[in-house]
Amino acid sequence: MESVWYLLAELYKKDLIYKGYTIQPYSPAAGTGLSSHELNQPGCYREVKDTSATALFKARKETLTSEVLKAVDGDVHFIAWTTTPWTLPSNTALCVGPKIDYVLVKTFNQYSESP
């Protein structure tokens, strides 16, 4: 164990350690992360049907800060995807960020055929 701590200290001194974020496999049943060994066990992966939903959130024109969005003729909506559709009735806002890439798509409402 001392060797591991020594090597970790050496990497830190050389500025080779950084803080980052990765997606880790997680077991809701056990409440822990999963190792690659556990993920390679027979029967670990199986096809499942998962409920999800997409929802349109209408933007208020006076809150838009992007000149591109302000110039859109008609309504602007944000499309959001969720795997917890039962939470949609309680959603009162949608978080957006300046460092996130967005795509502006002109389309039509499939029910009313309006832009």
How much is the pLDDT for 98? Answer: 82
- Tens digits of residue pLDDT in 51-64: 778 888 888 888 88
How much is the pLDDT for 54? Answer: 84
Average pLDDT in the chain? 83
Q: Which amino acid is at 84?
A: T
How much is the pLDDT for 13? Answer: 94
Rounded to two decimals, the pTM is 0.49
What is the sign, positive or negative, of the torsion defined by CA atoms of 24, 27, 30, 31? Answer: positive
The mean pLDDT of 18-26, rounded to a whole number, is: 78
Model confidence band, residue 5 (pLDDT cutoffs 50, 70, 90): very high
Whether the pLDDT of residue 16 is over 80: the answer is yes
Cα–Cα distance for residue pair 1/113, rounded to 1 Å = 66
Query: For residue 107, how many other CB atoms are within 10 A of its CB?
Result: 8
